Chains A and B, each alone.
Chain A
Amino acid sequence: MQYMLLIYSDPAREPKYGTPEFEDLMKGYFDVNEKIKADGAMVSGEGLKGTDTATSLRIKSGKVETMDGPFAETREYLGGYYVVDVPDLDAALKYAALIPSAAFGTIEVRPLMDYNPAG
């Protein structure tokens, strides 16, 4: 089964660039990348630039509206994701627990939609 691990974190709580804590964070990501790859579970994974680079769009009454900033005003923002291919939820949760940002936010684990009609 494939799961997306959505990494939500609060930028205010994350370590700043150049601090030893930031180095630890990067090393944590390096380790989890290597582990998921070595286990043969990696489908994909990317990090996103900050929310100050975000542009949001929606269509209202047939008209495109474009706005500066992310969709919702929350403290935790989507910062990146992994897609892993594992036997069950427990296995996906184990990788989620290794993502260093879990300490500064929330990792949401959701199965990917299966478009095969025979299930």
Chain B
Amino acid sequence: MTSAASKAIAVQNALTQVLRDDRGRLMAGLISRLGDFGRAEDALQEASIAALKHWGRSGIPASPIGWLMKVALNKGIDRIRQSQREDHKAQEVSHLMAEHDAIDTAEDIPDERLRLIFTCCHPALEEKSRIALTLRTVCQLTTSEIANAFLDTEATMGQRLSRSKAKIKSAGIGFKVPDPEDWAERLETVLATLYLIFTTGYVTQEVGERDLCAEGLFLVRLLDRLRAGDPEIQGALALMLLTDARRPARIGADGASVAIEDQDRSLWQGELIAEGQRVLMGAVDQRAPGPFQIKAAIADCHMGEGGPDWAQISLLYQSLWAFEPTPVVALNWAVVLSELGHTETALTKIDSLSGALSQFQPFHAARADVLRKLDRGAEAASAYATAIEMAPNDAARIFLQNRLAQIQITKGL
């Protein structure tokens, strides 16, 4: 290999590295200064192309992120100049110039990713767009990686991303952290979005090019660092850690998913459990309960040495109900009641949810299980069949098929 070729590879690697680690930070800084998602993306793209040329010639700079930020800002300002026709725009640019002269190292770039996350997760955007925009802008996933995760074509996902960026601009969604009076409500939307990223990774069969569980954890850890000490952020982090800790044990040798109480505990990742419990304790000590803290506590109670503490879990669902009186919470609570032996009550509760949840796979799985416990084999079999048909992945399908086979053997059906 020629030395020119190996040099080019080294430059390419250095650029890939800084974009992987710091693209979110660069984008946040550029959007906040250039005032526009599209303009920031174009500027960073141009700066990356310039980097390949300049770094190859003059060597990799001491602070690659500082270099990219400076050059991207210059490119962005050039673009604004080209399109400007009015005096107030000229002023806008001169203000930018003064600010960016000071950027030399990574430390000079204020971390504006908190604003970026709140903008990407604004409730005025569709839920799926919030997820896509966050993964694209904060986690540096490519459009094609996001499309794969959601079984969309790259073109469809590309259009969704463009539409969202256009709406942020045209609807006047501010690039900012919400006002204190809106904080709690807006944080809820952000955490729900990050948790959906995490669970999408958890439900998806295979780990694709990018592990969405890891991205969800990365995002909530980032949020916890940018806004230290918020008990609900800590609750969401604890919930993800405790769930992720069980990941190696959740699918058995036969490919079926395994209920928590039947999992091989030696496969659980102790470090993640310890961290999750520590984070949860820190949150609970602040005595400002919220739905994520309660869900993390529920996850923790499932994992006790002597098996799940169903009585405690039922009490926690009662607290959760005060925050989230939704059919899904009612369903999960009913399942806990059946574990406590109140099987008839559980069935009545579950049946009362059929209108709201008939398209929700876990509803049919839970109903099948309660009917099985009540020895109502034929009805259970029919509910299992529906749940199997709607199963989100092979592991869940095999688990349900095993259960169905069991009742068919016992009943001689």
A→B interface (CB under 8 Å): 1, 3, 87-90, 92-94, 110-111, 117-118
Chain B: residues with Cβ within 8 Å of the partner, total of 15
6 tightest A-B CB contacts, nearest first? A88-B174, A1-B172, A118-B86, A118-B85, A89-B172, A88-B172
Task: Count A-B contacts at CB 8 Å.
Answer: 32
Contact status B89-A3, CB under 8 Å:
no
Interface string of B159-202 (1 = CB under 8 A from A): 00000000000111110101100100000000000000000000
Chain A residues with CB under 8 A of B172: 1, 3, 87-89, 92, 111
A-B CB contact pairs (8 Å), 28 listed:
A1-B172, A3-B172, A87-B172, A87-B174, A88-B172, A88-B173, A88-B174, A89-B122, A89-B124, A89-B172, A89-B173, A89-B174, A90-B173, A90-B176, A90-B178, A90-B179, A90-B182, A92-B172, A93-B124, A94-B182, A110-B171, A111-B171, A111-B172, A117-B85, A118-B84, A118-B85, A118-B86, A118-B89
B→A interface (CB under 8 Å): 84-86, 89, 122, 124, 170-174, 176, 178-179, 182
- Shortest C-beta distance, B71 to chain A (Å), equals 25
Chain B residues with CB under 8 A of A1: 172
Q: Which residue of B lies closest to A90 (CB)?
A: B174
Main secondary structure of the interface of A (DSSP, over half): mixed
Main secondary structure of the interface of B (DSSP, over half): loop
Contact status A89-B89, CB under 8 Å:
no
Q: Which residue of B lies closest to A94 (CB)?
A: B182
Once bound together, how far apart are the Cα atoms of A110 and B172, in whole Å? 10
- Shortest C-beta distance, B81 to chain A (Å), equals 13
Q: Which residue of B lies closest to A114 (CB)?
A: B170
- Shortest C-beta distance, A51 to chain B (Å), equals 28
Once bound together, how far apart are the Cα atoms of A117 and B86, in whole Å? 10
Q: Which residue of B lies closest to A2 (CB)?
A: B172
Chain B residues with CB under 8 A of A110: 171
Q: Which residue of A lies closest to B170 (CB)?
A: A111
- Shortest C-beta distance, B358 to chain A (Å), equals 24
- Shortest C-beta distance, B23 to chain A (Å), equals 25
- Shortest C-beta distance, A8 to chain B (Å), equals 17
- Shortest C-beta distance, A73 to chain B (Å), equals 26
Q: Which residue of B lies closest to A113 (CB)?
A: B170
Chain A residues with CB under 8 A of B176: 88, 90
Q: Which residue of B lies closest to A87 (CB)?
A: B174
Once bound together, how far apart are the Cα atoms of A100 and B124, in whole Å? 21
- Shortest C-beta distance, A71 to chain B (Å), equals 24
Chain A residues with CB under 8 A of B171: 89, 110-111
Since A88-B174, A89-B124, A110-B171 are in contact, a sample of 8 more A-B pairs with Cβ atoms closer than 8 Å, ordered by chain A residue number, is A88-B172, A89-B171, A89-B174, A90-B182, A92-B172, A111-B170, A118-B86, A118-B89
Indicate the member of A3, A88, A92, A117 with the most B CB atoms within 10 Å: A88
